[in-house]
Structures are given as C-alpha cells and as structure tokens.
Amino acid sequence: MKASAIAFSNIALVKYWGRSAEERSALNIPLNDTVSMTKYGLVDGICLQSHTTVEFSEQYDQDTAVLNSNPLRGSRIDRIRRVIDALRELAGIELKFMMQSRNDFPTMAGLASSASGFAALGLAAASALGLTMSREKLSSYVRLGSGSAARSVFGGFVYLYQGGSHETAYAEKICSCDEFDMSVAIAIIDENEKPVSSEEGHATAHSSPFNDIRIIKSQQQAEIVRKAILENDFTTVGRTAEENCKYMHAVMMTSDPPLFYWSPATLNVMKTIMKLRSAGMECYFTIDAGPNVHCLCHRSDLESVAREISGIDGVQRVVPAVAGKDAFVTDEHLF
C-alpha cells in the first residue's frame, strides 16, 4: 500500500483569507470562492513541484511524516493527519502511515508550497489506499489540510467553491494550461520561512474592519475572473487579480495584530510592474502571504518582464513559470 504523486504549486488570482469560527473552520472551508493558476517553473530544478510518497503498513507503529528530510511534529503532522484520517476512514483502513515529501522550491515562504504539498499528499494517499474518486472529490479531502491545495489537484486555471459543507467546498478546472495565455514571473525577495504562517494569519482576519467587504468583493471577483478566463479576456483577469491582492493585504495590515508581509523590494516590484504597464507592456502583480511578487503577463512578454524585475534591488532571483499540469501519480518513490 504505497504510492507517490507529484503536484504543482498555484498562485491565487482571487484569494481567500480568514476562516469563520465554527464548523467551517474545522473543515477548513474558505469564506469566498477563489480562482488560481497552477504553475510550472521554467528554471532548471525548480518546476515548483512537490513530490510525495505515502505508505500504509503494519510495520509502522506510529504515523510519520518527513518534509525535505525534516521530521514533522505537533501541528504540522496534525495537519497531514487531517487529510489522511479522512481518507483512512473512507477506505476503512486503520494502518499507520509513513510519508516523505520533497519540494523543489522554498517551503513556507509565500510560494504556496502547502498547496502543491497537500495536493501531492492527497493523491498519493488515496492511491496507496486504493481509493478511486473524481478529482473534484479528492480536492475536498485535500482542502482539509490546506485550502489552496484543493486547487493544485488540477492543472491550468482552477475554481474553488467555498461551498458551505465538506462536499460542496471543492475545486474544478476552468480550463487547461494551454487554453488561456497567462504566465508569471515570480520575484523572489525572501526564501526563508515567513515569520507568521498563513494558518496564524487566517485566525486574525476577522479583526480587520475591511474583512467583510473583502469577502463580498472577492466572491464577485471570483465570478468575474472565471468568466474572463473563459472569454480569453487577459486584461480583466489581470486587473481583477491585482485589485483582489490589494484587498487581501489591506485586511492583513489592518488586522489585530497587524500583518505586514511586504518588504521595500515588494513595493519596488509593484511599482515597476505599474510603470511597465503605463509603458504599454501588459502585466499585473499579485502577492500571497509573503513578500514575493507574482508578475502576471502574456507568455510572449515573460522573458522581458523577468529581465525588468530581476534588476530590482532586493530581488534575489526571478523564476519564470507557465500554467502547469494536473497532479499525477508516479512510480518514482522517495523511500
């Protein structure tokens, strides 16, 4: 009962932030629908992927999880158990598991390593347990570990419903990676683990006076972006994604305690993107829970945008990426 899977990270074009107190919180159900682009890195050795092997066996007397050679403990293994326990229950199997996972890019630095990580975990575990289910259903189980991970089950452009119950909060593909022309140049400003995790940030979002309006606006923006992707309207997607990112960061900055994920270089990249846009190159920025900036552009402009932002003070490197593929099962096991 052993299987491995590879999944790719994603960037939210319409994001969620914050969780409600009650049952939705235990089930990790986001407060608004979200939209994302699954990414595939074009740098040698950085495909922006997580590769995970899971084995269930009588030889294990406890659950064990190892990420990038570090054993996970406390809340970090509990999060993994949330996904695996639900899948174990579905399969009617009580065996303990061993999980090993490797990211080919910085972990917990605002680059959505938990998205690719939990998507690979869910797919590998379901496959090791012999469960067959639709990707939509799998995405609900993956969501129990990380909301953004539900979207990384799919490649291309993805919609995640906030639903309201475990079954209805699932992801579905809007279109595949070659049906909408959007690429992203990722300005990496800090590769270290962020000092405040998304998990902690979600818990304080409700204290911002802008939280409720962000939720209402984001719900509308998710619909706008989905429609624009289907209509091949790059301008609306980019403009809305940039606006949505600013709303989320406004909530972060006005929460109690406040959360400032940006660094001076973050702002410099944002300003450069706006300047490039005024000069006629169509590009937009979006930023997750960290200082790194995702610059959205057409594939034909990717090299130029990457070049422009790589010269900015404080930008350590730029990873160009295109829309990525579905998560998949592989025979390559990590142990």
- Please choose, out of 15-23, 130-138, 207-215, 322-330, the segment that lies near ligand DP6 by the rule CB under 6 A: 15-23
For the residues of 264-290, what is the DSSP string, one character each?
Answer: HHHHHHHHHHHHHHHTT--EEEE--SS
Rule CB under 6 A: say whether 39 interacts with ligand DP6.
no
Token pair in block for residue 142: 């993956």
Verify binding: residue 16, ligand DP6, rule CB under 6 A: yes
Site track for ligand DP6 across 195-214, x = CB under 6 A: --xxx---------------
What's the CA dihedral at 62, 67, 73, 76 to 10 degrees? -110
Pick 130 or 212: Cβ nearer ligand DP6? 212
Smallest CA-to-CA distance from 96 within 146, 144, 50, 58 is with 58
CB of 331 vs ligand DP6, minimal distance in Å:
28
Contact pick of 147, 155, 320, 324 for ligand DP6 (by CB under 6 A): 147
CB of 34 to ligand DP6, least distance (A): 5
Q: How far is the CB of 41 from ligand DP6 (least distance, A)?
A: 17
Beta carbon of residue 61, minimum distance to ligand DP6 (angstroms, whole number): 29
Residue 133's DSSP bridge partners are none
Residues 177, 300, 262: CA angle, nearest 5 degrees: 80
Q: Does 324 bind ligand DP6 (CB under 6 A)?
A: no
**Does the protein bind ligand DP6 through residue 146 (CB under 6 A)?**
yes
Under the binding rule (CB under 6 A), the answer on residue 114 touching ligand DP6 is yes
Q: What tokens appear for 175 in the block?
A: 């279109």
| Distance of alpha carbon 13 from alpha carbon 238, whole angstroms | 8
Helix (H) or strand (E) holding 114: helix 113-128
Size of the site for ligand DP6 (CB under 6 A): 15
Rounded to the nearest 10 degrees, how much is the dihedral formed by the CA atoms of 177, 178, 184, 188? 50
Question: Given the complex with ligand DP6, which of 146 and 255 has the nearer CB atom?
Answer: 146
For residues 287 and 189, give the distance between their C-alpha atoms in angstroms, rounded to a whole number.
11
Contact between 15 and ligand DP6 per CB under 6 A = yes
Minimum CB distance to ligand DP6 smaller for 245 or for 297: 245
Rg of the chain taking only CA atoms, in angstroms:
19
Q: Minimum distance between the CB of residue 145 and ligand DP6, rounded to whole angstroms?
A: 7
**Alpha-carbon distance 238 to 282, whole Å?**
9
Distance CA 281, CA 272 (A): 11
Residue 289 in contact with ligand DP6, rule: CB under 6 A: yes
CA distance 212 to 210: 6
148 binds ligand DP6 (CB under 6 A): yes
The binder of ligand DP6 chosen from 4, 9, 32, 34 (CB under 6 A): 34
User: Toward ligand DP6, which CB reaches closer, 34 or 101?
Assistant: 34
Instruction: Find, among 145, 172, 152, the residue nearest to 160 by Cα.
Output: 172
Nearer residue to ligand DP6 within complex by CB, 17 or 284: 17
Contact footprint for ligand DP6 (CB under 6 A): 12, 15-17, 34, 112, 114, 146-148, 197-199, 288-289
